């Protein structure tokens, strides 16, 4: 069924709301990437089967009259680590670590008797938390972009519409001019969430001002930062919010075609976006003359093929054209000559997902969230050595310590916090001294880091920061497209030096050389990849210089991660001469007489640590 005007759309919305109300109880099985990995599809099927057996299952379809229970797949519900997650409305009961075996109990107790299954709930000390708002991880957040992600069926457009979806598009297309929209977005001071923080409204006005018959809207869903999954979660948890933002964008800059570029590692996002596009076309929210406004727009989905650099705007548009994704010299900028040489409005997933909210509630409201110069919220993926890993969203300007300790629950295994990497391989690390730092574009820039896409990887005291710098350099070096010399050659040299340092072959001069190379590369590379490639090295050198010094001067790795810098010795006082270590040694580096202390030949030793494991007396020590 197709809606041709706003009256028909409103009728559909009323019917969708009614259908949703007919579901007296709604079960949301988290089907984000994490929970799917933990087996949530199986739980979804099982719940559906059991409820259907009882004759209680109803879907949100417009003609349905009877009341019953809805079982739905939702996007990421946040606390991935405790997955699979299941939420039951209207009670808002939040269940964790649900197993297929638990389905019967959930149905009997919660769906039939309205009772919570407490053993599946979150325990905070001795308190059992029934609903998300009782859990600190959730209560400290402000979920705007992720608000519906986890609360609606991510595969059903009717549910998005029932919850007010596409009303912003209706308002924009029928009550506003393109200029008014660009103006509203400018006033909201929405800044691009893809890393750079460029004001979206300014970009939109620039595209609108271009004199060209053909223009494009491109959504950047490449999310190349390893260790970040916010954009993926928005795309697979609430795909229609991205489409709606793009439709509004298309109207605002007079484009009639949009593309979403999704990284290939996100098959779920690709599938759900594809489904969402089909559903939107079917109902007439994509296609010709949307809602009778005279505006036509359609969206295509492109799958990346595994190149980090394709997140860069000019490389991305090249890749959509079927070429090697290599950045080009700017200007001309993407707003002037982007996809197929035409003016292109290219924004990040999260940027687009903010748009419907701003159109509906106004710039004024948007600016009331977060600080003056970076309003709104930001989604972060918090991972690494932290108790609560998962997907979060907080107002811009939230302090680092609130994110890591209040929401993240602090460092796991009782270890101490050491650093957090923000902005992935293009970003920098923040340390203990930055705990009071507000997370927003400008504050981070001041300390040499960047918000980047929003990946927060927390590292504990056992992490070697030199090794981390090597890890990131290895990543960017591999991902360098090779077009410009500073990046192609420079990252390689920097990597070689870092490899030397962790292998115990570094010198003091190496540190100077790293700094010099970093300086040259960041000021001469062609694109953002090269320009920011040295950032992890610079920031670790700045905050953890003594760790570098330990590696190059004392030839020691303080955290004992760099195996080349440690050696194993047998403590004679503890060794009973049982010979277990010698038997375990794959390099025959350990010799000795039974019942006398054994010795390790360090020239033969490959530092695998097998002897440490084998020794029953803890006599093998790493020094």
Partner 1 sequence: MLDKSKYPEVDGILAGYAYNRSALIAMLQEIQSAYNYLPEEVLEHISTEIDIPLSKIFSVATFYENFSLEPKGKYIIKICDGTACHVKKSIPILDTIKKELGLNSSKHTTDDFLFTLETVSCLGACGLAPVILVNGKVYAKMTPESALAVIKEIKENESK
Residue 465 interacts with partner 1 (CB under 8 A)? Answer: no
Among 283, 320, 451, 570, contact with partner 1 (rule: CB under 8 A): 320
Distance CA 174, CA 244 (A): 14
Stretch (H or E) spanning 614: helix 610-614
313 binds, among ligand FMN, ligand FES, partner 1, none (CB under 5 to 8 A by kind): ligand FMN
Determine contact, residues 236/162, Cβ cutoff 8 Å. Answer: no
Among 136, 227, 448, 528, contact with ligand FES (rule: CB under 6 A): 227
Determine contact, residues 381/456, Cβ cutoff 8 Å. Answer: yes
Residue 258 interacts with partner 1 (CB under 8 A)? Answer: no
Determine contact, residues 611/584, Cβ cutoff 8 Å. Answer: yes
Cβ contacts of 193 within 8 Å, gap of 6 or more? 348, 349, 350, 351, 354, 378, 379, 453, 454
354 binds, among partner 1, ligand FMN, ligand FES, none (CB under 5 to 8 A by kind): none
Task: Name which of 226 and 362 has its Cβ closer to ligand FES.
Answer: 226
Q: Which of 479, 490, 474, 473 is nearest to 525 (CA)?
A: 490
325 binds, among ligand FMN, partner 1, ligand FES, none (CB under 5 to 8 A by kind): partner 1
Burial class (CB in 10 A: 0-12, 13-18, 19+), 413: exposed
Determine contact, residues 157/81, Cβ cutoff 8 Å. Answer: no
Residue 528 interacts with ligand FES (CB under 6 A)? Answer: no
Q: How far is the CB of 206 from ligand FMN (least distance, A)?
A: 12
Distance CA 16, CA 117 (A): 30
Q: How far is the CB of 34 from ligand FMN (least distance, A)?
A: 19
Cα distances (angstroms) measured from residue 522 to each of 266, 315, 443, 529: 30, 19, 20, 9
The string of DSSP codes covering 530-560 is: HHHTTHHHHHHHHH-HHHHHIIIII---TTS
Determine contact, residues 98/117, Cβ cutoff 8 Å. Answer: no
232 binds, among ligand FES, ligand FMN, partner 1, none (CB under 5 to 8 A by kind): partner 1
Q: Which residue is nearest to ligand FES (CB)?
A: 227
Residue 225 interacts with partner 1 (CB under 8 A)? Answer: yes
Among 33, 77, 148, 351, contact with ligand FMN (rule: CB under 6 A): 351
Total Cβ atoms within 10 A of residue 61: 12
Among 77, 167, 220, 388, contact with ligand FMN (rule: CB under 6 A): 220
DSSP state at residue 369: S
Task: Name which of 116 and 452 has its Cβ closer to partner 1.
Answer: 452
Residue 287 interacts with ligand FES (CB under 6 A)? Answer: no
Determine contact, residues 449/423, Cβ cutoff 8 Å. Answer: yes
Q: How far is the CB of 342 from partner 1 (least distance, A)?
A: 14
Total residues contacting ligand FMN by CB under 6 A comes to 22
Residue 371 interacts with ligand FES (CB under 6 A)? Answer: no
Residue 396 interacts with ligand FMN (CB under 6 A)? Answer: no
385 binds, among ligand FMN, ligand FES, partner 1, none (CB under 5 to 8 A by kind): partner 1
Task: Name which of 228 and 407 has its Cβ closer to ligand FES.
Answer: 228
Determine contact, residues 323/329, Cβ cutoff 8 Å. Answer: no
Q: How far is the CB of 243 from ligand FMN (least distance, A)?
A: 16
Q: How far is the CB of 427 from partner 1 (least distance, A)?
A: 10
Q: What value, to the nearest 5°, has the Cα angle with vertex 283 and ends 278 and 288?
A: 85
Cβ contacts of 169 within 8 Å, gap of 6 or more? 244, 247, 248, 285, 290, 291, 356
Among 87, 193, 272, 378, contact with ligand FMN (rule: CB under 6 A): 193
Omega within 30 of 0 (cis) for the link into 38: no
Q: Which stretch binds partner 1 (CB under 8 A): 176-184, 265-273, 352-360, 518-526?
A: 265-273
Q: How far is the CB of 511 from partner 1 (least distance, A)?
A: 23
Among 11, 54, 127, 324, contact with partner 1 (rule: CB under 8 A): 324
Q: How far is the CB of 1 from ligand FES (least distance, A)?
A: 40
Sites for ligand FMN among residues 444-463 (CB under 6 A)? 453
Beta bridge partners, 302, equal: 261
Total residues contacting partner 1 by CB under 8 A comes to 57
Residue 226 interacts with ligand FES (CB under 6 A)? Answer: yes
Omega within 30 of 0 (cis) for the link into 349: no
Residue 374 interacts with partner 1 (CB under 8 A)? Answer: no
Task: Name which of 188 and 389 has its Cβ closer to ligand FES.
Answer: 389
Omega within 30 of 0 (cis) for the link into 273: no
Which residue pairs from 279-285 have beta carbons closer than 8 angstroms and sit at least 24 positions apart in sequence?
279/156, 279/157, 280/157, 280/240, 280/243, 282/1, 282/2, 283/1, 283/2, 283/3, 283/12, 283/157, 284/2, 284/3, 284/4, 285/3, 285/157, 285/166, 285/169, 285/243, 285/247
Task: Name which of 309 and 420 has its Cβ closer to ligand FMN.
Answer: 309
Interface residues with ligand FES (CB under 6 A)? 226-227
Interface residues with ligand FMN (CB under 6 A)? 192-196, 198, 220, 222-224, 309, 311-313, 346-348, 351, 453, 527-529
Interface residues with partner 1 (CB under 8 A)? 33-34, 36-38, 79-81, 83, 223-229, 232-233, 264-267, 302-308, 319-326, 381, 383-385, 389-391, 421, 424-425, 455, 457-459, 463, 468, 471-472, 475, 481
């Amino acid at each position: 069924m197709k809606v041709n005007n706003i009256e028909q759309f409103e009728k559909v919305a009323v019917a969708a709301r009614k259908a949703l109300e007919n579901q007296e109880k709604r079960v949301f099985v988290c089907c984000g990437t994490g929970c799917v990995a933990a087996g949530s599809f199986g739980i979804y099927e099982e719940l559906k089967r059991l409820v259907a057996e009882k004759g209680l299952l109803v879907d949100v379809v417009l003609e349905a009259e009877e009341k019953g229970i809805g079982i739905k797949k939702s996007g990421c519900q946040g606390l991935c680590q405790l997955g699979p997650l299941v939420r039951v409305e209207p009670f808002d009961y939040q269940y964790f670590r649900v197993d297929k075996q638990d389905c019967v109990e959930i149905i009997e107790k919660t769906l039939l008797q309205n009772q919570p299954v407490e053993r599946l709930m979150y325990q905070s000390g001795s308190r059992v938390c029934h609903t998300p708002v009782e859990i600190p991880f959730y209560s400290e957040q402000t979920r705007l972009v992720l608000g519906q992600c986890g609360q609606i069926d991510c595969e059903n457009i009717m549910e998005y519409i029932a919850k007010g979806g596409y009303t912003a598009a209706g308002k924009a297309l029928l009550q506003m001019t393109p200029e008014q929209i660009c103006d509203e977005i400018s006033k909201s001071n929405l800044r691009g969430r893809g890393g750079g923080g460029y004001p979206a409204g300014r970009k939109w006005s620039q595209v609108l001002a271009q004199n060209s018959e053909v223009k494009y809207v491109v959504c950047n869903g490449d999310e190349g930062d390893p260790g970040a999954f916010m954009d993926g979660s928005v795309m697979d948890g609430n795909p229609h919010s991205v489409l709606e933002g793009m439709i509004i964008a298309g109207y605002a800059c007079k484009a009639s075609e949009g593309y979403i570029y999704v990284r290939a590692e996100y098959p779920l996002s690709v599938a759900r976006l594809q489904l969402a596009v089909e559903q939107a076309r079917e109902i007439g929210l994509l296609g010709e003359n949307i809602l009778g406004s005279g505006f036509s727009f359609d969206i295509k989905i492109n799958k990346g093929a595994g190149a980090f650099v394709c997140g860069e705007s000019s490389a991305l548009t090249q890749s959509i054209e079927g070429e090697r994704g290599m950045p080009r010299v700017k200007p001309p900028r993407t707003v002037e000559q982007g996809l197929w040489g035409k003016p292109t409005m290219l924004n990040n997933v999260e940027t687009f997902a903010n748009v419907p909210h701003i159109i509906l509630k106004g710039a004024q409201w948007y600016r009331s969230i977060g600080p003056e110069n970076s309003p709104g919220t930001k989604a972060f993926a918090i991972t690494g050595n932290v108790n609560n890993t998962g997907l979060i969203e907080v107002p811009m300007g939230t302090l680092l310590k609130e994110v890591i300790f209040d929401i993240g629950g602090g460092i796991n295994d009782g270890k101490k916090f050491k650093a957090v990497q923000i902005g992935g391989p293009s970003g920098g690390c923040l340390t203990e001294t930055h705990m009071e730092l507000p997370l927003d574009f400008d504050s981070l820039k001041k300390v040499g880091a960047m918000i980047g896409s929003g990946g927060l990887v927390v590292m504990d005291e056992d992490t070697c920061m030199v090794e981390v710098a090597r890890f990131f350099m290895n990543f960017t070096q591999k991902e360098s497209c090779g077009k410009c010399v500073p990046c192609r050659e420079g990252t390689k040299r920097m990597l070689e030096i870092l490899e030397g340092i962790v292998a115990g072959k570094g010198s003091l001069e190496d540190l100077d050389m790293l700094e010099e190379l970093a300086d040259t590369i960041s000021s001469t590379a062609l694109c953002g990849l090269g320009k920011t490639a040295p950032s992890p090295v610079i920031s670790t050198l700045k905050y953890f210089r003594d760790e570098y010094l330990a590696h190059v001067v004392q030839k020691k790795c303080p955290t004992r991660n760099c195996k080349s810098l440690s050696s194993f010795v047998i403590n004679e006082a503890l060794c009973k001469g049982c010979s277990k270590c010698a038997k375990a040694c794959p390099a025959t580096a350990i010799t000795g007489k039974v019942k006398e202390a054994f010795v390790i030949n360090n020239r033969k030793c490959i530092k695998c640590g097998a002897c440490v494991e084998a020794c029953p007396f803890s006599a093998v020590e790493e020094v």
